[in-house]
Copies of this chain bind each other. A is one copy, B any other.
Amino acid sequence: MEPRILELRGEIDRINRELLNLLSERARIAVEIGRIQTELGIRHYDPVREEKMLAYLTAENDGPFSDGAIKKLFKEIFKATLALEERQDERKFLYSRDAKPETTQVKVKNAVFGGGPLLVAGPCAIESQEQMFQTAEFLAARGVKVLRGGAFKPRTSPYAFQGLGVEGLKLGRAAADRYGMAFVTEVMDTRDIEVVARYADILQIGARNMHNFALLKEAGRSHMPVLLKRGLSATVEEWFYAAEYVLSQGNGQVILAERGIRTYEKWTRNTLDLSGAVLAKQLTHLPVMVDVTHATGRIELMAPLARAALAAGVDAVHVEVHPNPKVAMSDNNQQMDFAQFDEFLSRIKGLLEPAPKEG
């Protein structure tokens, strides 16, 4: 190594040390300012103050860094400092494993999300008493503990079947009770939360409403378990923030559900983002479900992907099951009939035992 370079690197080392000392001193003072601001109820972030500091520094700067580079470096310092002040305020995100290292268990009737692999199953839409009782009886006999079924249906067209509404809620509740299951169903309007909460055990927030912040907050206030589906094209980060909306209302019972994201690929209904589900297991303490029905839209893919999801360590798998999918009022091609569900079950059975510590 060239001696002249070595010598100059010695200089750099000295400056690094001085920078470290100054940054630490600066941080200590900023934390003190933050403490005072919190006492006084003043917002920590003050863009005008930042503007002034940057204006001063760029006026003073005479290179070799450009003013832009100096601004960028100081903005990084401001950001790190703000993060420090906010951490001090204990404002860690409630969803994060940093805030709560142990996995949350959401207990609903006999089912425990986060306590070993679960199946959630049932028809897309609740259509009749016969349909719901047949399905619940069939599923309960196979050990499925959570019954799904839609009473309020989000439909692309206003003229498509919109669900049976409260009538459907009653049928779902009755079927679940008759066969000792928990009942999960979707809620789409803040004004419906009360009635849905009266009949269901778990409120589902659907993919299309993941960014419906009013609904998220109201679901948080309900103190019911909430099954939160990832939005059609939500980032993992946005999905966690949506959970935070519920959690921030004092409701810790959130189950995250990955159901495929929208991509250019056309041979599957959506693209299952299993990495997203694993990140949810790793970065949050919430139980995580994978919905292989909406993620694929193809029955022949559901068993392999359910195996994959369970092997990757998720807590639950969701599939749609209907006594007679060909005459179903929605999603005809992606609901399994009973024979298909039995075949599905036989193929994933080995993975329904408590998963090894993965993810």
Contact = CB atoms under 8 A, between A and B. Distances in A.
A17 to B, nearest CB: 7
B49 A9 contact: yes
Contact of A245 (B158, B188, B347): B158
Interface in A179-215: 188-192, 208-209, 211-215
A237 interface: yes
Contacts of A70: 20, 23
A342 interface: no
A312 interface: yes
Contacts of A263: 261, 263-264, 271, 273
A307 B211 contact: no
A154 B231 CA distance: 15
A37 B1 CA distance: 10
Contacts of A281: 304
A296 B272 contact: no
Given A265-B261, A278-B304, A241 B156 contact: yes
Contacts of A308: 274, 308-309, 311-312
B62 A24 contact: yes
A271 B267 contact: no
A304 B84 contact: no
Nearest to A329: B47
Nearest to A60: B20
Contacts of A36: 2, 4-5, 8
A301 B275 contact: yes
B19 A241 contact: no
Nearest to A68: B80
Interface in A270-318: 271-276, 278-279, 281-282, 295-296, 298, 300-301, 303-305, 307-313
What is the total number of copies of this protein in its complex?
Answer: 4
A307 B358 contact: yes
Contacts of A166: none
A28 B156 CA distance: 30
Cβ-closest 8 pairs across A and B = A311-B311, A233-B233, A208-B211, A189-B214, A308-B308, A308-B312, A304-B312, A307-B311
Interface in A24-67: 24-33, 36-37, 40, 47-49, 51, 53, 56-57, 60-65
Contacts of A142: none
Nearest to A283: B267
A306 to B, nearest CB: 9
A355 to B, nearest CB: 9
A332 interface: yes
A275 B248 contact: no
A244 interface: yes
A296, A298, A359: most-surrounded residue (chain B CB, <10 A): A359
18 contacts: A8-B32, A11-B29, A15-B25, A19-B74, A24-B64, A27-B65, A69-B84, A155-B213, A159-B244, A188-B212, A191-B191, A208-B213, A232-B233, A236-B267, A272-B275, A274-B305, A308-B311, A311-B311
Contact of A271 (B16, B29, B271): B271
A301 B278 contact: yes
Contacts of A29: 8, 11-12, 15
Contacts of A309: 308
A13 B311 contact: no
